[in-house]
């Protein structure tokens, strides 16, 4: 379960307490928690924008308007590293068996058919 799904479940749980009799301090605390969780959800559901700025032989990689890295090239590793803080992305990097790759000539459509070292 993702953090967003957990937070949504908490919102539903907090919402179910509406109409239940309890003291004023508890009601205020629940309302504050509800508002805090709603704000957290809004922050978590913001889309991440990745932008690559190109200038002749120099490139810059931006995440949500902020420079992440720059250089003569931007690699897949650079891009995936910049996405690392997004909860639903799992990034792995493995080397393939070059003899196998030369023999087959190109990567297969399915990852489970790739021969890794």
pLDDT digits (tens, 9 = 90+) for 20-68: 555 666 667 777 777 777 777 776 666 777 888 888 888 888 887 888 8
Q: What is the average pLDDT value for the chain, to the nearest integer? A: 77
- Asked which of 17-21, 50-54, 73-77, 111-115 is least confident by mean pLDDT, the reply is 17-21
* φ/ψ (deg, to 5) at 55: -145, 95
Whether residue 89 is predicted with pLDDT greater than 70 in this model: the reply is: no
* φ/ψ (deg, to 5) at 61: -105, 125
- Residue 7 β-bridge partners: none
Continuous segment of H or E residues that includes residue 66: strand 66-71
Q: Count other C-beta atoms under 10 Å from residue 57's C-beta.
A: 8
Tell which wins on pLDDT, 84 or 97: 97
Q: For residue 72, give both structure tokens.
A: 């003569």
Between CA 81 and CA 26 the distance in angstroms is: 43
pLDDT value for 41: 72
pLDDT value for 21: 59
- Read off the pTM: 0.46
First to last CA, the chain: 31
CA-atom Rg of the chain in angstroms: 23
Q: Which of 67, 71, 45 shows the shortest CA–CA distance to 58? A: 71
């Amino acid at each position: 379960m993702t953090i967003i799904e957990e937070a949504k479940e908490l919102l539903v749980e907090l919402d179910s307490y509406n109409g239940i009799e309890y003291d004023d301090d508890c009601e205020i605390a629940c309302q504050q928690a509800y508002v805090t969780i709603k704000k957290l959800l809004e922050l978590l559901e913001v889309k991440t924008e990745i932008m690559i700025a190109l200038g002749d032989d120099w490139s810059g990689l931006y995440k949500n308007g902020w420079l992440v890295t720059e250089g003569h090239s931007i690699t897949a590793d650079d891009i995936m590293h910049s996405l690392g803080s997004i909860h639903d992305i799992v990034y792995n990097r493995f080397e393939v068996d070059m003899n196998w790759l030369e023999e087959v000539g190109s990567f297969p459509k399915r990852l489970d058919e790739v021969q890794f070292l």
